[in-house]
Every structure is written in structure tokens, then in C-alpha cells.
A and B are shown apart, each in its own frame.
Chain A
Amino acid sequence: MILLTEDSSVLVIGGGVAGIQASLDLADRGFRVYLVEETPSIGGRMAQLDKTFPTLDCSICILAPKMIECFRHPNITLLTYSEVKDVSGSVGKFAVKIIRKPRFVDETKCTGCGTCTQKCPVVEPSEFDVLLGDRKAIYMPFPQAVPRIATIDKDNCLYFTRAVCKICQKLCQADAVDFEQKPQEITLNVSAIIVATGFDLLNPSVINEYGYQRYKNVITSLEFERLANASGPTGGHVTRLSDGRIPDKVAFIQCVGSRGLGRGVSYCSSACCMYATKEAILIKEHEPDSEVFIFYIDLRASGKGFQDFIDRAKENWGIQYIRGRPGEILEDPRTKDLIIFCEHTVSREVRELRVDMVVLCPAFVPKESNKKLSENLKIRLDEYGFFKNEDSMLAPVDTNVPGVFICGCCQGPKDIPESVAEASGAAARAVEVIALTARKEAQ
């Protein structure tokens, strides 16, 4: 016998894989779920990846069905392009104010046909493509975006900035463009809240000697994922940003800004040893004759199937692992190749390595928006700025506020299976707490 209050609903903040999993678990159980996502589409970081380790599944291919399930689920209301403004109340009866930012496109009419995005004359760097690729002022962030509804970027749209154009409105055969749309404030009454807002990557410019932003062919791992992804800016070809050439020799640098008491953060970002190996294999899959090096300090492959993945990378793919953290990366001004100076600590020699491209694996850092959200929800942040759980062993998804739960990378760096299990866990705890609260009130 399960006690559910009549309108038991849960707010899930964040539409990445963790938020999606928590929403689906709760919705499948019959709860009403409001999934709030600040960007125009759900999907989060996992949608940006090319493939996932250790199975080398196409990331969006395994995620999209879950995204669509969220969209179609009768119990889930997707509130994309929306933000949490204010929270009051307590477990069982939170009142949450959500601001729905205006997309200037009528969600009920837009069919996602994409005509408007093709004809819009304004080109802007695409946030989804980590600024490497372009989008229009009216856009859908990526082909598998859910919901498949166009959004107008007001700051760059010609109509909003210079009162001209309106081509999208003229061409839209569903009559969905609405320049008069206003921000909408809605209040939701929910019994519990799950925070699943994910993470950002540290800007590796702080490790200045590695040349990020100074040298064109030094990129971050997320930029690499977008290059490798078939729907990315280069159509899935990993090419150098300086000249569009396919690199023959690529080096990955681990722990950029992680594990340090000096610059960057002091913790380990957990997933980088594995994802660098995956990216290295992707390069080899595309270009079997290329040489790939991974500069690491401790190889962290303790998850299921991970050590085997690394062994295969070494033995089957010939990827070379060098224990050492480079002292400096310099650029050859003529070719824009990069020269890495690193001590091979196991042989105690400092060697120079010339490569065509360097991929930096920067630290996972908490999102800037965590601070505001923590104030709204009155939940604590830890010393790094991640959301803090009540007890990392016994109450991993609970916060100091009953009824508010956290899961996924918003509380610390971890990989996808851990985020998914934690998200289900948060859903379970939410149900447990709602049931217990309801029972208490019934007495």
C-alpha cells in the first residue's frame, strides 16, 4: 500500500542524464514531474559527447530515446529555457517560482521543421559546440534537441537589435514565431525537489604554460568531442583548428588544473583518465596510422570494465601512456605544431615531443549558478562550490533541507553510470520522504 498525496509532484532542476533518469523513474511511478532546464533543450553534457566509454556507444544515440521518453511521458512537463527564481515552503509543500524565458516561438505551434533556422541571416558561435561551431539567431541547439522547438536569441536577432528582418516569421508555415512573447512566471507546488544541474569545465588558461587560447591547436576535451561528433562543426572530422589538417600525432594531458593545492582545484576529476582513453581510441579509429600519447600521473580505471578498456587501448590500438606532467608546451611558429616538454618519470628523462594537436583534460568544476540556487533552496555548498550531501556515505543524495535532493555531477565529479544510479537513488529518496511526510500528516 503506497501513500501518495493526490497531487504528489516533484521538481527536477537540470535536464542532463541525471535529471532525465530521475524524472523518468518518478514519472513511471505516477508522480507528476516538472523538469526545468535552463538551455533550450534537455540532454546536458552527455548530448555533447561523441561516444561513451567503455562501450564506445554513440552518446546521443543512447540518450535520445530517454530524452524523447521525457518529452512524451504523460507525467512529465518539460520546462526548457526556464530558470528557478524562488523557492519557499518545506517538504511536501514547496512553492517554486519558475521563470520561462521567452523563446519568441509558440511551443504549441512549432513543429521543429527547421525552415527558420536555415533562412536566418545572423550567424553566432554555438554554445552547444563550445563556441567552435555556429548557430543562427533563431536556432535549435542540436539536431536531436528535445523539445524540437526553435528559440530566438534576443541579443543577436536582427529584429530585436535593429527592428528589421523577421524572415523566420515570414517563412514559418505553422505561424509559430511570436516576437511579442513575454517572460512567463509560473508557480509550481511540489512535494520534493531534485537538483541535477551538472558541471562545467575549468578554463585551462589558468595553466598558462599549456598555451590554451594562445595556440590554436591546443583544445579541451569537450572541444574534441564536438569535433569528433558527426553533428559537430567539422562533420565528425577531428581536424586542427589552425589549418584544418587531420593530425597525425595527438597528445592528451591529464589532470590540467586538478589535483593541485596551487592553481585550479585540489580534487581529482574522476572520469578524465577514462574519457581520454576513449578519445584516443576515437582518433585511432578515424586514423589508424596516427600516434596518440596520453600524459598521466595515476591512471584511474577502477570502474566496471575500465581496466580492460585501457589494456585494449594499449595492446590493440597502440596508444602510448607516459607517466609525467608536462612542464611546458611551446608552439612551432611555422607549422603551429606543438612541442611538449615532459619528464618521463619512469625513465627519469626529460623529452621533447612534437605533436600536431594537444587535448587538455581540464578539471570538472561546479557551475557558477550553484551559488544562487543554493541560496534559493537553502542547501549547502561544499568548499569547492559543489552541492553538499548530508553524509557522503550514509546519505549520499540527501541535503540539509528535507525534501531537497542532489544527484550527478552537481555534487561532485563522476561518470555517467554513477550519475544514473545516483539519480534513481534521489528519486527513491524523494518518494520515501514524500511517503513518510504524507503518513505523518495523516496521523
Chain B
Amino acid sequence: MERMSDETPRIGVFICHCGINIGGVVNVPEVVEYAKTLPNVVYGEENLYTCSSEGLSKIKEGIQKHNLNRVIVASCTPRTHEPLFRATCEEAGLNKYLFEMANIRDQCSWVHMGDHEAATEKAKDLMRMAVAKAGLLRPQEETEIDVAPSALVIGGGVAGMTAALCLANQGLSVHIVEKEHEMGGMLRYLHRLYPTMQNAPEVMDQLVNAVNSNKNIEILTSSVVKEVKGFIGNFEVTVQKGNGKTVNLGIGTIIVATGATNFEPFGMYGYKEYDNVITQLQLEQLLKSERLQNMKNVVMIQCVGSRQEGRSYCSRICCMTALKNSVLIKELYPDADIYVLYRDLQTYGKEYEEYYREVQKKDVEFIKYLPEKPPEISPGQNGKLNVNVYHSLIGEQVEIMADLVVLSTPLIQHEDAKDLSQKLKVPLGPNRFFLEAHVKLRPVDFATDGIYVCGCAHWPVDVGESISQAYGAASRASIPMAIKKLRTEAITAVVDEDICSGCGLCELTCPFKAILIEETEKGRKAKVIAASCKGCGACGAGCPQMAITMQHFTDEQLLAQVIALAEAIP
């Protein structure tokens, strides 16, 4: 039975000793007595361990016996037991948001262990503040939203297809939207994949066949995402197909797997100036189509267009690609001499260092050059190219008469990524790669709920790493769809549309894209998407009209706490 909240507050206070953690520093009985003198407090008790089953029973007892409609526990940090205490209140019939915690351990007894008197006074201050807020608390409701059991994967390359298959095999329905007329992404241009030298077309065909024959997957090639509305579980996606028609999809979660493209180094090292200066990707095409001519000296230059001013990142895959292509050239032409001009060799991890040794065994020569003394290309005799480089580890210039110069260039983000990011309302980070929610612990999530990312759209990675990330993204994306319903956060922002001027600052501020400006009959107004709102308060803090209230942290409540604290200041 719900306790009415519009009645006069009847606050019960439970102060925890936490063994000696609090009780050994703060004079808990004194604080209990003090609490009882505060406005609206009708009951107060001390517990040895409020979080113990005994303590929880006492809370429930207290609520029943004393008709409490607000509960305060003064103990440890909310991070540990707030959900537990809230659940306890709920079990006793009290709305769980009519509960408040005062942290008199981490923020009091633990940091003021040397001064018991002061700690006790501070505990009283914290008590007073909690009581002031508790009196103004209102019950909140969490709502449930349905999740459409259908995923959208944007991008039909190796990452997109892997994620789609994983989801489909779990029984979920998946739509893949691919802007090219065929699936496969970068795999279409690759010949062999390191370090196992698997055949890229075979890997691709395997995936494409699997995707084509899976009943749960719908493929839309030559199609692009035109518009995305809604929020997690309830996205409305409009896809423009190749034939000009549009189709609307009801989507639960979205995975961005749009991959990347290869940088073309115009103006660098004679690219497009000399016929025999090509990129690794172009070399791959020649190897694939068996059009690579016999040659004596091949020079590969690493870090062309990356790790420099304007594009400072390392593209991760180019060193291994150069090594792999060296092996392929040597297979064709065992007498070829290959020189790899590098800055730092990225053969990281368990397998790639071993691969490096395999390549060294094939007599590929590695020459370290310095960024301030890059190699120089000039035309030589008989169409050969004179590659002159300062070998930084022996301190001498080395000259190579090259038949072919291969430039290892970075993967860069697609031009249309910005467009997509705006449609999805997800951010692009440095170098325009999609920005995840947290670099360490949420590498495949976006901060916006319900949207995930994997593969080169996120950062240059190789095929194996893309597949690994794709499985990761599929896992994350499947969760909302698997549980079918999502409980929304009760503590959200609320907009007073009468005051809202539609300025849009809140929309710019929100990291979760949970508040958006929409056209209404009253004009442009901010609308909160409760399902996505995390209650962080950034919009509320920034609103110049003060039209946004944060539930459970209203201005009124917060000011009451400040005033309560200030009472102690003479």
C-alpha cells in the first residue's frame, strides 16, 4: 500500500554504527537524539549494522509502527547499499524514492578519524541536510518500455556481418543496411589476411553466404539510413533503398559498423607522379589479380600520412599489412629484395611478433627512418626510382634502386560519417572516428543508449580484431532485445514547457541525447526522452530559463539542504 506523499512528512531516521567504522568516531547516540529534534522527524534509532538483515527488519518495522512516509539512513555511501535500502522501503509499502541517505562514513567518520568531536558535529550537519531534503521528497515512478526485437546493423563488411549473424543466431531479427551494391566492405579488395594468410574472398564468401541464407537477416544493399528518430528500444529508422523507395523500420538497437577507407597520399613520395609508386591497397589488388610484375627491389615506406602533423595517430594495421604483402611478393618472386622503411614496428602481441620473425627469416630488410629525415624519392635509370633514406640506426645514408615503391597509408574515416553521426546523434571523436561511451570500460557502446559500434568505424583494426569487437557489440546490442522490456530511470529531467524558450542549450549539453528540441503547438520546446535520460542534471544546470527540474534533486530540495547547512554558521 502506497503511503501518501502529500501528507505532512513523517521522517524516520536510522543511524548506523557500522561496527566501529562510524560508531568509533561519531557519537551516534548523540546524533540520534539530535535528529529527533529536527523538523518532521517522528522516529529515530541507532543500529549496529543497518544493512544487516536485522537492520533492514528494523526499518520495515519502523515504517509500519510509526507510520513513516520518509526514511533516512545515515551510514555509508549510497553506492553500496542505497538500492538495498530502497528495496526495503518498497517491501514495506513505501515508494522507494521517499528514501534518502546521509553518508556519515566515507564523507565523515573515515576522513575525520582524528577529531571525534568535529566528526560528530559534521554528522549532525549532514543529518540536518538530509532531513531538510527528505521533507521535500516526492514519490517517483519507473516506467517500462517495450524493446522492438529487431536490430539494425549499418555496414555490411566483416564487422557488420559478424555482428548480424551473432544476433540472428540468437533468434533476433536483423536488418543490414549497406551503401554499396554488394556486401563485404574492405574484404572485397583484400587478397590474403594476416597472420594466417587466409584467403579474403573465401572468408568474405563464407560470411556473405551465411548472412544471405539466414532467415532472420534482411539485407538492404545500395541503401542508406535517411533518418533516425526515437530512442532505445523504439527507434524509427527510415532507409532509402537503391531504387529510390524508402522503408521504415522499427528498431530496438543499432550497431554502427561502417568501417573506414584508405588514405590516398597525393603529393607524397611521388604518388601518382610515378607509375611505380602505389599504396598497399593497390598492391593488394595487383597481387589478387595476379598482375604484379616481376621485380628486383621493392621499397615499402611506413607511416605515410600518419603519425604526423594533422593526422597524428598510428593506423595499427599497416606494419602487419606491409609484412604480409612482403611475404606474398616473396612467394611470387623469391629473388626480390624487399626493404621496409619504418619508424616503430607495430608487431604487437602474441602472434604478430612471431610473424615478424618469419618475415625476417625471408630476408626482408628493415630500416628505421626518422620523421625529421624522411626518405626521398627521385627518378632513376630505366624507370627505376632512387630511394634515398637516412638509416638512423647506423648513421648512414642508404640508397636503393627500387622497381616498386609501396606506401603504407592509414585508414581514415569515411566522408559521410559526419552525416551519419548527426542522424544517429552520436559523437565523432578525434580524427572523426566514432567516439565510444568510455575508452576503457565501454569500448563498443555509445553514450546514447541502444547504439553500439565496432570495427574500423571506431578505430583502425584488422579483420580478427573487427570480428572480436563485432561479437562484443552484438552482445551489448542483444541485451535490451533479449529482455524485451526496459525499466526507465525514475530520476529524470522534467521540462516546464511554459517556461521553456526552445533555445536548445540542453540538447547541446546532454551527452546521452536524451533531451531534444521539438516542434509543438506552443512552439519549439525541449522534450525529455525518459528512456535515455540518466538524471545527470547537466541540462538542468545549464538551462538559462530554469525551465528544467531534476526529479529527486529539485532546486527547492537542494536549496533546502544548503539552508539547513548554513544554520550552523553563526
Contact = CB atoms under 8 A, between A and B. Distances in A.
Say if the two chains contact directly (CB < 8 Å).
yes
Given A174-B52, A267-B349, A393-B196, A416 B468 contact: no
A327 interface: no
The number of chain A residues touching the other chain, given as a range, is 35 or more
B21 interface: yes
A62 B440 contact: yes
Interface stretch (A207-215, A298-306, A369-377): A298-306
A17 B443 CA distance: 13
B406 interface: no
Interface in A214-259: 259
Contact of B433 (A72, A304, A432): A304
A113 B198 contact: no
Contacts of A270: 348-350
Contact of A113 (B19, B203, B394, B442): B19
B478 interface: yes
B444 A424 contact: yes
Interface string A338-366: 00000001111000000000000000000
B40 interface: no
A421 B468 contact: yes
Contacts of A428: 166, 170, 471-472, 474-475, 478
A311 interface: yes
Nearest to A436: B169
Contacts of A345: 393
B479 A1 contact: no
B195 A28 contact: no
Contacts of B463: 393
B441 A66 contact: yes
Contact of B478 (A393, A397, A422, A431): A431
Given A2-B171, A113-B19, A412 B350 contact: yes
A302 B314 contact: yes
Contacts of B83: 72
Interface in A307-321: 307-308, 311
A65 interface: yes
A54 to B, nearest CB: 7
Interface stretch (A84-92, A131-139, A161-169, A384-392): A384-392
Contacts of B473: 424
Interface in B215-243: none
B354 A267 contact: yes
A115 B48 CA distance: 13
Interface string B156-183: 0000000000100111100000000000
Nearest to A427: B475
The number of chain B residues touching the other chain, given as a range, is 35 or more
Interface string B332-358: 000000000000111111111110010
Contact of B49 (A174, A412, A435): A174
A416 B433 contact: no
A130 interface: no
A421 B469 contact: yes
A126 interface: no
A195 B402 CA distance: 50
A25 interface: yes
Contacts of B354: 266-267
B483 interface: yes
Contact of A425 (B307, B315, B472): B472
Nearest to A143: B110
Contact of B439 (A109, A259, A305, A414): A305
A359 to B, nearest CB: 20
A425 B471 contact: yes
A52 interface: yes
B384 interface: no
B80 interface: yes
B195 A392 contact: yes
Contacts of A382: 350
B314 A306 contact: yes
A25 B479 contact: yes
Contacts of B346: 298, 300, 302
B457 to A, nearest CB: 12
Interface string A150-177: 0000000000000000000000011000
A186 interface: no
A76 to B, nearest CB: 14
Nearest to A412: B350
B443 A421 contact: yes
A28 B479 contact: yes
10 interchain residue pairs of minimum CB distance: A113-B19, A425-B471, A428-B475, A302-B316, A424-B472, A421-B472, A393-B464, A412-B350, A424-B475, A417-B443
Interface of A: 1-3, 17, 21, 25, 28-30, 52, 54-55, 57, 62-66, 68, 72, 109, 111, 113-115, 118, 148, 173-174, 259, 261, 266-268, 270, 298-308, 311, 345-348, 382, 384, 386, 391-394, 396-397, 412-414, 416-418, 420-429, 431-432, 435-436
Given A118-B20, A416-B441, 6 more contacts: A28-B483, A29-B478, A111-B18, A114-B21, A311-B312, A428-B166
26 contacts: A29-B482, A62-B438, A68-B80, A72-B84, A174-B48, A298-B345, A301-B344, A302-B316, A304-B439, A304-B459, A307-B313, A308-B313, A345-B393, A346-B370, A348-B393, A348-B394, A382-B350, A393-B203, A393-B464, A412-B349, A414-B349, A418-B443, A418-B465, A418-B468, A420-B472, A425-B474
